[in-house]
Structure 1
Amino acid sequence: MKDFINVMWRYVKPYKHLVALNFVYNLLSALFAVFSIALMIPMLRIILMQDQQVYELMPMAMDMKTLENNLYYYISLYKDSYGPGYALLFVGVFLIIGTLLKTGTTFLASYTSVGLRNNVVRDLRKEIYDKILILPMGFFSAEKKGDIISRSTGDVQEVENSVMSSLDMALKNPVLILVYLVTMLIFSVHLTLFVFVLLPLAGLVIGRIGRSLKKKSMKGQEKMGVILGILEETLSGLRVIKAFNAEKRMEKRFDREIGDYRSIMNRLMRRRELAHPVSEFLGTIVVVIVVWYGGTLILSQDSGLEPAAFLAYLGIFYLIINPAKAFSQALFNIQKGMAAYDRIEKILKADVSIKEAPNAKAIANLNEGVEYRNVTFAYNDRPVLKNVSIYIPKGKSVALVGQSGSGKSTFVDLLARFYDIQQGSIMIDGTDIRDLKLYDLRHLMGNVNQDPILFNDTIYNNITFGVDSATPEQVIAAARVANAHDFIMETENGYDTVIGDRGSKLSGGQRQRISIARAVLRNPPIMILDEATSALDTESELLVQQALENLMANRTSIVIAHRLSTVRNADMICVFHEGEIVETGTHEELLSKGGMYKKLHSLQIRD
């Protein structure tokens, strides 16, 4: 419960005004409820004790005895003038007014509670998404994508359904219970103290059942993460699944996981459904004991509790049972919801290892060049780059070649600070990139990757991604440089054509040229090309290669390539092998050395 209170206060704090309004409305609702029940006493007296009349008006004072005496004085006058039936109607009108005020304030309390709940859930969703955007790439390498989606969607939904539904309990029920208990104490101290002993005992039994829910709920949320992961893999790899006739294999895998999830949820939900029967059964026991004890007090005639007052007391006690039951149900919901929130916290509390220096410097352009100085980097103690040093002057093109896994992609990822190096330094114009503003650093670069990342949006919005101030003329000019304008105009709606998930409505070459147009529009001083043509057919490769040459003209470029024919004209070629640069030079120089580059070149010529 302590964790629940801390979490709620963290998210509720910005909406203190709604909490205050909710408290006021709940307090008024409880007071009007007590007022309505209290009006039952004179009605019962008129029916049960018709011989008791009050004909002496006491001086007005704010105490229960005076108020009660004067109320019965006016009822007695009305009863003598119009008869008992109209006296009942007279009291009944006040009962209707009291009930109207009670239900009205109850609605207002719910009205503010709904706004508070939805505000908190929105803030939680925003916090998760914002954190995902700033987390380093290494976090996503270690986590399953499906599990992250599960935490961001299913777990948030569980928090909304379980924890946030209990927010009403946390704000409303304590107020109601406190007002009702104070009223019960006014009616009878002895009987209420007796109730104080019974209710905690019932709550203890219910609490023991609820505590076991959190562990089972955690398992259920983790299993849902696995299920979403399989769904994501299936959608991404559907072509491979069909090509290898692996539908039955994936079907069995999915059936196994959803079967396990069903078993976990059966145990969890059956135990949760136990809350209401147990609370109702225990509540009935408590009511029977209270009626028995109250009846003995009345029969003893020593308590001063009249039968009509006792019946009203039972009415108020009945009002307190529903909030008490809500507490028991809320205990189950909170345990289940907090298990989901614990999984969400793994994202919210994840370490943002790529941090901007307190006095980071601004940078707007590349004036001299980029230098890697004795750079060493490892993924989870697995060395990827070892003591790499290289200087890339402004305006020059550098090609990175070598076997897969030799460290080429990591080399460029470090420049954008997707990861931070363990040893050495990377300098831009003589300043360590860790001392530069992160936004400015990445704004210096444009990326064209082997698998172009496009969004399910229009062609226009994909080209202007990250460049909000672009004009239509600039977009068209960028598309022309990328050899993309002609095919764009042939699509259904031109630049307003929606291209589908990851650009699925376009061919590979078309997607790549859209990606190049996006980089052209940004016009960065440093261009990074990562296997930009390796997945294309010959015709598409020619068009994309022409677009790349337009893009790289008079620009500092770092090109990763497997096809050595695409980097023949690079100013410098760096040959990577097992995390080290083993050769550098131009195409002709490296061939003349007869080393690893010549070996790779010979293999490709033979192919």
Structure 2
Amino acid sequence: MKTYFRLLSFAKPIEKFAIPYIITTVLSVIFSTLNLALLAPLLTTIFAKHGQQKMPLGPKPALVDIMATFKYYVTYAINNFGVWVALEFVCATIVVSALLGNLFRYLSQRIMENLRVHTLLNLRRAVFNNVMNLHLGFFSNERKGDIISKVASDVQVVQFSVTGTLQVIFKEPLTLITFLVVLFLISPSLTLYSFLVIPVSAFVISKIVKRLKAQAIASQQSYGNMISYLDEALSGIKIVKAFNATEFIKTRFDEENKRYSRITKSMARRQQLASPVSEFFGITMVAGIVLYGGHLLINNASTLTAPEFVTFIAFFSQVMRPAKAISDSFSNIHSGIAAGERVLDLIDEQPMVTDAPDAINITGFNEALKFENVTFAYQEKIVLSGINLTIPKGKTVALVGPSGGGKSTMMDLIPRFMDPQSGRITIDGQDIKQVTASSLRALMGVVNQESVLFNDTIFNNIAFGKTDVRPEDVEAAARIANAHNFILETENGYDTNVGDRGTKLSGGQRQRICIARAVLNNPPIMLLDEATSALDTESEKLVQEALNNLMKNRTSLVIAHRLSTIQNADIIAVIESGRVVEQGTHQELLKQNGLYRRLIDMQTFNE
């Protein structure tokens, strides 16, 4: 129940919906009950003999006793105005009652739908916002498809099962209680007799739905795997086809699809069995009541009249409807709680990188960026150990060395995508942990080896994250990035859609769009992670020229495997096994005849 009530907290302010829902639901139940309560007076009127002696009226009953009150007024109408007028009165009352009952039922459903959508809005917003705030390491350990499944599918399950159950929790028990009160008013002995079905039915249904929660968890995990397989297949479609792995991918997806189908079929069998079982018990009990009540009537063993007996049966048959809805909700709530737990786990995931309570905003970069005895590890594996490095303002610093040495990790630590285990990184002498992440990242432009573009226009990709950009500024950034000419040659110029992940553009064109995006941001610090290594010679030349334009009058940290990229750097730091083993200019390092010289001789760097 803790999970259920926590999920309901996303409906706040719930009183905005709950109060009008309660009012409209109560009125709907009252008028719906009234429709059935009028059945006995209707039958009394129809079977009354015209011209017979006046029927005994008796004392006026309390308004709470609906059946007796209407019987009193119908009898009064028959005695004073005749059977036809009484019949008109009863039929008119039924019509008005039905109109009001359905009107209030419609209003209550509208209010509940608004609550459901409002809850879904808040829940999905909370999940997505927290995911966006999480550190990069989280995404390295989680399947993207599983995250998508939680944000999309699981939230929908919560919406239709948990918030739907809220409707059942109030409306159906209220309807059930109201019907039972009326049944007691008609015949206490028959009502007590009818109670025999409830514990038996509840016991059987509880056995049926017992394993639903475990199955729901397995179902949602399987669905998340399917989404992951789909995402991986679409992202790597070229590799799939190049390695003739199409059948392998199909088989992997199909096996998970079959597993998901088996689980959902098993769940459906249990959920669907609850309703027929409750209905069977209800009909069996109605037959028993007819037998018992008929015996009382035939033997004149009860004061119950024939119209009242028919009304009792009608009411009891309707009692099974809310009882059935309640049993169905118990079977559905397991799926909702299981999905809700997965969603809440994602909401509860805490980012490892957060702003300090007293963090300050930094507005500029004036002196240097420094690594001071920095150590970093992924779980048990140490990646950086005792790193000391100074990146002076206006200088270009290149990180080189064998793959896996920790170069990319060093670059990821600067904008605080991750935090070191020990040591510190400072900007103008200020520990970056004491600076707000947003103001720190505002000083930096990032260009990665992988050109990350969004399925949008070229203009919007260059202006990404900004809403007040002028077209001339975007064009100026594109010119610096050597992108303006090829953009004009596309179908719609700057309004051309680049496709999913920029697939409509070549690798060099995508990279130049990314550089233009960094130029537009006009940051004082540039972080360039192997920005040309995946390009052909011609594209590399254009991109390198764009990078040179980008790095003018800026502080740059560059990771590269090509000599042409780093030989003109002011400082070259050679990283091996998480340590800075050499440092200097290109010529100085060649003279040292160390690791840098060996890498050059092995042609790790190429012109």
Please give the secondary structure, in 2, of the residue aligned with 1:153: helix
What SS does the corresponding residue of 2:446 show, helix, strand or coil?
Answer: strand
Alignment-derived partner of residue 279 in structure 1: 278
Tell me the equivalent position of 1:580: 579
Could you tell me which amino acid in structure 2 is paired with residue 566 of structure 1?
T
Give the conservation status (yes or no) of the 8 Å contact 2:3–2:340: no
* Structure 1 range deviating more: 23-32 or 12-21: 12-21
Residue deviations 1:488-520 (CA, integer Å, cap 9, x gap)? 111111111111011111111110010000000
Q: 1:474 to 1:163 in 2, by over 3 A?
A: same
Q: How does 1:86-105 map to 2 (within 5 A)?
A: 86-105=85-104
Aligned amino acid, residue 148 of structure 1: I
C-alpha contact 2:197 2:282 (8 A) present in aligned 1: no
CA drift of 1:11 comes to 2.2
Query: Any residues of structure 2 matched to 1:113-262 within 5 Å, and which?
Result: 113-262=112-261
Partner in structure 1 of residue 390 of structure 2: 391
Distance 1:356 1:257 in 2: 41
> SS at 1:290's partner residue?
helix
Q: 1:372 to 1:225 in 2, by over 3 A?
A: same
Residues in 2 aligned to 1:350 and 1:251: alpha-carbon distance in whole angstroms: 33
Partner of 1:477: 476
> Which has the higher mean CA deviation after the structures are superposed, 573-582 or 257-266?
257-266
Shift of 1:71: 4.2
User: Could you say if the C-alpha distance between residues 53 and 425 of structure 1 is closer, same or farther in structure 2, counting changes exceeding 3 Å?
Assistant: farther
Structure 1 window deviating more from structure 2 (88-97 vs 533-542): it is: 88-97
Q: What CA deviation, in whole Å up to 9, does each residue of 1:69-127 have, x standing for no partner?
A: 34421232122xxxx34532331121111111111111111111122112222222222
* Counterpart amino acid of residue 480 in structure 1: R
Matched, 1:78 2:81: yes
1:8 CA drift (Å) = 4.5
Distance (whole Å) between structure 2 residues aligned to residue 182 and residue 281 of structure 1: 23
Query: Please, which runs of 5 or more residues in structure 1 have no aligned partner?
Result: none
Whole-Å Cα distance in 2 between the matches of residues 499 and 240 of structure 1? 21
Q: Is the 8 A contact 1:369 1:391 kept in 2?
A: yes
What residue identity is the alignment partner of 1:157? Q
Provide the residue aligned with 2:330 in structure 1: 331
Question: Could you tell me how far apart the structure 2 residues matched to 1:359 and 1:40 are?
Answer: 72
Q: For residues 310 and 59 of structure 1, what CA distance do their matches in structure 2 show?
A: 22
What does residue 551 of structure 2 align with?
A: 552
Report deviation, 1:299: 6.0
**TM-score for the superposition, normalised by structure 2:** 0.94
Task: Rate the CA distance shift 1:204–1:5 in 2: closer, same or farther, 3 A.
Answer: farther
Alignment of 1:54-65 (within 5 A): 54=55, 62=63, 64=65
Tell me, yes or no, if the aligned pair for 1:125 and 1:156 is still in contact at 8 Å.
yes
Letter in 2 for 1:445: M
CA separation of 1:592 and 1:246: change in aligned 2, threshold 3 A: same
Question: What is the CA–CA distance in structure 1 between the aligned matches of 2:366 and 2:294, rounded to whole Å?
Answer: 94
- For residues 513 and 605 of structure 2, what CA distance do their matches in structure 1 show? 33
State the one-letter code of the partner of 2:35. Answer: S
Contact 2:4 2:337 in 1 (8 A): no
User: How far off its partner does 1:16 sit?
Assistant: 2.0
Contact between 1:32 and 1:102, CA under 8 Å: does it hold in 2? yes
Contact kept, 8 Å, 2:155 with 2:339, in 1: the verdict is yes
Deviations 1:566-602 (A, max 9, x none): 1111111111111111111111111110000011111
CA distance in 2, matches of 1:190, 1:323: 22
What's the CA shift string for 1:437-469, capped at 9, x where partnerless?
121111111100101111000111001112333
Determine the C-alpha separation between the residues in 1 that align with 2:522 and 2:196: 75
SS in 2 for 1:125: helix
Amino acid at match of 2:524: P
Partner AA of 2:78 in structure 1: I
The Cα of 1:58 is off from its aligned counterpart by: 6.0
Q: Distance in 2 between matches of 1:307 and 1:317?
A: 15
Give the equivalent residue in structure 1 for 2:542.
Answer: 543
Query: Which whole-Å CA distance do the structure 1 matches of 2:575 and 2:502 have between them?
Result: 32
Q: Secondary structure at the match of 2:12?
A: helix
Query: Which secondary structure does the structure 2 equivalent of 1:391 belong to?
Result: strand
Q: Tell me if the contact between 2:205 and 2:277 (Cα under 8 Å) persists in the aligned partners.
A: yes
- C-alpha displacement at 1:62, in angstroms? 4.6
Q: How does 1:322-361 map to 2 (within 5 A)?
A: 322-361=321-360
TM-score, normalised on structure 1?
A: 0.94
Task: Point out the more displaced range, 66-75 or 11-20.
Answer: 66-75
Structure 2 residue identity aligned to 1:330: S
Aligned to 1:23: 22
Report the counterpart of residue 569 of structure 2 in structure 1: 570
CA distance in 2: counterparts of 1:606 and 1:493, whole angstroms: 39
Residue 39 of structure 2 aligns with an amino acid whose one-letter code is M
Contiguous gaps of at least 5 residues in structure 2: none
Distance 1:160 1:61 in 2: 43
Distance 1:206 1:63, change over 3 A: closer
**Relative to structure 1, is the Cα distance of residues 562 and 291 closer, same or farther in structure 2, using a 3 angstrom cutoff?**
same
CA distance in 2: counterparts of 1:142 and 1:325, whole angstroms: 44
- Report the Cα distance in structure 2 between the residues aligned to 1:253 and 1:56, rounded to whole angstroms: 78
Alignment match, 1:433: 432
The yes-or-no answer on 1:268 pairing with 2:267 is: yes
Cα offset, 1:30, TM superposition: 0.9
